[in-house]
Amino acid sequence: MVGNVIQLNQQNFAEEVLSSKEPVLVDFYADWCGPCKMISPIIDQIAREYKGKATVAKINVDENRDLALQFGVMSIPTLIFFKDGREVQRILGARPKGQLTSVLDSLIA
């Protein structure tokens, strides 16, 4: 976990995302990806602000190819929102914080 952001992998994905009681925002990223680096501080900020209300996690697609394939992640960053263990929304590319928080707010409400 970096700050309040959980690093996901094949071993902890089911427990942290599929079994979560809170909505989960998962950021599929790679270290070499420019847009991923751009939104990383936003993801960290959301993780702090939504602590106790939503889970924020990241998956390095280079280290977790199976998960990226499982969810059909073709470009990064891909942000997938889960609720009750199911994907409910997907956003491709770097987006402003407000767009991400409005999705989380709707899932928490």
Q: Does 96 participate in catalysis according to the annotation?
A: no
Residue pointed to by tokens 């700050």: 3
User: Per the residue annotation, which of 6, 33, 73, 79 is the catalytic one?
Assistant: 33
Residue 33 annotated in active site: yes
Contact 59, 10 (CB under 8 A): no
Active-site residue (options: 5, 36, 56, 103): 36
Quote the strand ranges of the chain, DSSP E.
6-7, 24-29, 55-60, 78-83, 86-92
Q: What is the DSSP string of 36-57?
A: HHHHHHHHHHHHHHTTTT-EEE
Strand order from edge to edge, sheet including 78-83: 6-7, 55-60, 24-29, 78-83, 86-92
The residues carrying an active-site annotation are 33, 36
